Structure 1
Amino acid sequence: MSDYRILVVDDEEDLCEILKFNLENEGYEVDTANSAEEALKMNIISYDLLLLDVMMGEISGFKMANILKKDKKTSSIPIIFITAKDTENDTITGFNLGADDYISKPFSLREVIARIKAVLRRTSKENTEKAPEQLIHETLIIDVTQKKVSIDNKEIALTKKEFEILFLLLQNKGRVFSREDILAKIWSEEVYVLDRTIDVNITRLRKKIGKYGKCIVTRLGYGYCFETK
């Protein structure tokens, strides 16, 4: 299964369901919204890519993209426009708004899937190359370069696995990672690791980061996430 989450925003419910079905068959986790207004109420930062229809209701796909690109939290999320409008001016408008690709209707599902894969490959590589030197939440600071964690300017002694779990969760605030996700990302080279290993490391990590331990939230039946509320 893929780790990528995709949000499809289109006022054609049937098209949303078709895209959802086929993308889930490719291993993606997919949610849908039938308007920009509905989509903007969702946790946009938890998605790795957005498929936006241009011609929607009061808030068009272009307008929604403009809103997202002006917000630092969502500005780096890749956007692919899917639309019946295929004039040169519309295409230029889409790319000027920061779109990563532009697909005209009617389209083949194979084309959509291929373009999604290409955008995710490119943006994943860019994000890796631009990895932050520090991750900061209030007085909790992860120094990525020196592999150190401090709270209120006092260094916290973490094991390598605890550091990697904290980095993964804090870098992806609000995103829920299952035990399988965490095992695949952090224990990828180990031949056999029990799910219980994750729970033990999470428990130790919560204790070590003190007041921020409550930010590592358990979603029963799903996994763990770092919440800042």
Structure 2
Amino acid sequence: MENEQKILIVDDEKDLCEILQFNLESEGFSIEIANSGEDALKKPLEEFDLILLDVMMGGISGFKTANVIRKERNLEVPIIFLTAKGEENDVLTGFNVGGDDYIPKPFSIKEVVARIKAILKRGTSNQNTGNQILYDDLKIDLKKKTTSIDGVNVNLTRKEFEILSLLLKNRDQYINREEILKRIWQDDVIVTERNVDVNIARLRKKIGDYGSKIKGKSGYGYCFRS
């Protein structure tokens, strides 16, 4: 089937991989399996629509594998972490290394399928293709670090560009200010949550009508509403 979406399952529990493979193939997905992070990194990862990635594996961890995918390979393929670890710090680590979702074990297969479909639907709506994110006439080129609306370049600062990219990748999901600071400013200890508000205010003005789609909610943070 030409439009069959490809998912890579990375987990050292072979029985679990077989269960996931059977159920996901029943849902119409094309599945490949890697039983370690090292094996996963040998595959043509750019060909997959989504990666299910276990955190606790022998050899390199899922977090390290995700970091290589994001930082060294510069790939935007959605990543869902599967792990027995459910502490808040582990969740934050997962998002900090570029994870899109986090499902603690034990989980129901129905929940995994629902999460996968939600993320793939979001990616299709946004038309994330390789190094680009398209939303209507708004285009972000992640490789060239450029933004344009209806073909006209929009001059964003690095932080504005990164915030817009983050919000569009996670469309319709609120991201709190603390998380935005961690993911955009990282180790810069001088900035405060006020810096997030200021940059988003400037960003809203620069992207015209699309600025109204960036919603703020007290206690929740910001999201890009479709």
Per the TM superposition, whether the score is higher than 0.5 is yes
Unaligned runs of 5+ in 1: 134-144, 146-229
1:11 and 2:9 correspond: no
Q: Which residue of 2 aligns with 1:21?
A: 22
- How far is the alpha carbon of 1:70 from its aligned partner? 0.6
> What letter is aligned with 2:35?
N
Q: Could you say what secondary structure the match of 1:67 adopts?
A: helix
- How far is the alpha carbon of 1:72 from its aligned partner? 5.0
Moved over 4 A (4+): 130-133
Distance of 2:31 and 2:59 partners within structure 1: 24
Q: Note the 1:124-135 alignment, pairs <5 A.
A: 124-126=124-126, 127=128, 128-129=134-135
Unaligned runs of 5+ in 2: 129-133, 142-150, 152-226
Q: Could you say what secondary structure the match of 2:24 adopts?
A: helix
1:44 and 2:45 correspond: yes
Q: Note the 1:50-69 alignment, pairs <5 A.
A: 50-69=51-70
> What letter is aligned with 1:104?
P
Q: Which residue of 1 aligns with 2:36?
A: 35
Q: Which residue of 2 aligns with 1:123?
A: 123
Identity of aligned residues (%): 57
> With structure 2 as the length reference, what TM-score do the two structures score?
0.56
Q: Note the 1:1-229 alignment, pairs <5 A.
A: 3-71=4-72, 73-74=74-75, 76-126=76-126, 127=128, 128-129=134-135
- How far is the alpha carbon of 1:125 from its aligned partner? 2.0
Task: Please say if residues 78 and 100 of structure 1, whose CA atoms lie closer than 8 Å, have aligned partners that are also in contact.
Answer: yes
> With structure 1 as the length reference, what TM-score do the two structures score?
0.55
Task: Please say if residues 10 and 53 of structure 1, whose CA atoms lie closer than 8 Å, have aligned partners that are also in contact.
Answer: yes
Give the aligned CA root-mean-square deviation in angstroms.
2.3
Q: Which residue of 2 aligns with 1:136?
A: none
Deviation track 1:60-106 (CA, whole Å, cap 9, x = no partner) reads 000000001113542x1100000000001000100111111000000
Distance of 1:46 and 1:59 partners within structure 2: 22
Deviation track 1:101-139 (CA, whole Å, cap 9, x = no partner) reads 000000000000000001111122222426678xxxxxx
Number of equivalenced pairs: 136
